Amino acid sequence: MTEELAPRDAYLRECSAVVIAVTGAGVVLDRTVFYPRGGGQPGDTGALAWDGGAAAVLDTVREHGEVVHVVAAGAAPPAGTVVRAAVDWERRHLLMRTHTALHVLSALVWREYGAKVTGGNMEPGQARMDFELEAMSVEFGREVEERLNAMISAPHPVSVLFLPRDEALADPDLIRTRVSLIPEHVDPIRVVDIAGLDRQADGGTHVADTTEVGRVRVVKTESKGKGNKRMRIELDAPA
């Protein structure tokens, strides 16, 4: 099994590793800083480099529990090769900012409007989130944008906790986000806590403080049917 470094330290940009297998899709390493697609967050891209060669990592996916670094056909280094694995940091960091922004947005809409999230999707620097809401207007979008930026621009440290399953199941904030649906063998449960704002079971990568997110714009609000309203956000380039 691969030792996954990103869940404990999202700021690691590269590591050295040994190729332990080459599958149809790509390369499995003994350790990695790459995040495999999951929980709404896209997989990392980047590069593997070794003595005498290099390959671009086009995506990272989880296959049969293994983290697979997807490379072009024929580009994989053979098992046993020592490689330098480096993520495309600019893209990853933008995903971290986007992911943290979405958690704050979900907390805001829940707290202020009592609406749960029904779905979502994120790309680097842009995302959509669907809410169990009856109505959504341009004015509502503006109001949310203002409140969201007020929350994000004040410092709120983001920390990753590994909570014993029993403790997680008893946490009222985690109950709201349906922690009980997490498969029973998962223990401890990884929790992302945005101090004073949001706490949810989550596998993704986040920035260390909300101030690192920067300014967020609500660019579109739309109805996807009764009781299902969609909001699209975009992040400003860092100042």
Residues that bind Zn ion (CB under 5 A): 202, 204
205 CB neighbour count, 10 Å cutoff: 24
Shortest Å, Cβ 95 to Zn ion: 11
Q: Closer CB to Zn ion, residue 204 or residue 214?
A: 204
Residue 221 near residue 229 (C-beta atoms within 8 A): yes
Q: Closer CB to Zn ion, residue 88 or residue 202?
A: 202
- Return d(Cα 52, Cα 102) in angstroms, integer: 41
Q: Closer CB to Zn ion, residue 46 or residue 204?
A: 204
Residue 151 near residue 197 (C-beta atoms within 8 A): yes
Strands 14-22 and 53-57: unpaired
**Residue with nearest beta carbon to Zn ion:** 202
Shortest Å, Cβ 183 to Zn ion: 17
Shortest Å, Cβ 86 to Zn ion: 24
Give DSSP secondary structure letters for 167-181.
HHHH-HHHHHTTGGG
103 CB neighbour count, 10 Å cutoff: 24
Shortest Å, Cβ 19 to Zn ion: 30
Q: Closer CB to Zn ion, residue 144 or residue 192?
A: 192
Judged by DSSP in three states, 228 sits in coil
